[in-house]
Homo-oligomer: A and B are copies of this chain.
Amino acid sequence: MDCRIIKSPGENTLAILTRRKGSGQREPLEKPDAIGLVQGKLIEMICAADVAEKAVGVTVEDIRGSCPQNMIMLAIFGDTASVIAAIEEIKKKENNRKW
C-alpha cells in the first residue's frame, strides 16, 4: 500500500481527481488544504476508506481507474493535520491487523 500527501493542491490536480470520483458527483471538489492519496489492492483500500471515514476532519473519495466501476485509489481531503492523522491511522491499522 502506497500513501502520499499533497499540500495546497493545484487546481488542475483537483480537476484530474474530480473527473475520477467514484461517487459520480461532477461539481468540482472544494479546494482543501491537503490531499492524502492511498493506492493499493481493492481489499486494502476498502479497509483504508473505513478507517479514514471514522477519522475526524476529513472527507473520503474513491478514485476510479480504467472504468467507472473500477476503484484504484483513495483520496482523503481536509486540513493538513487531519489528513496526516488519517493516513497515519490507516498505516497503523494496516500494520497491526490480525487477518
Question: Quick one: which of B16, B60, B71, B87 contacts A12, CB cutoff 8 A?
Answer: B60
Interface of A is mostly: mixed
- CB–CB A65/B73 < 8 A: no
CB-CB under 8 A for A37 and B41, given A11-B53, A69-B19, A69-B67: no
The oligomer's copy count stands at 6
- CB–CB B97/A4 < 8 A: yes
Please tell me if A15 contacts chain B, counting CB pairs below 8 Å: yes
Chain A residues numbered 15-52 whose CB sits less than 8 Å from any CB in chain B:
15-17, 19-20, 22-23, 37-39, 41-43, 46-47, 49-50
- CB–CB A47/B2 < 8 A: no
Chain B residues, CB < 8 A from A37: 43, 46-47
CA distance A91 to B70 in the complex (A): 26
CB-CB under 8 A for A54 and B10, given A47-B4, A71-B16: yes
Chain B residues, CB < 8 A from A97: 4
- CB–CB B69/A10 < 8 A: no
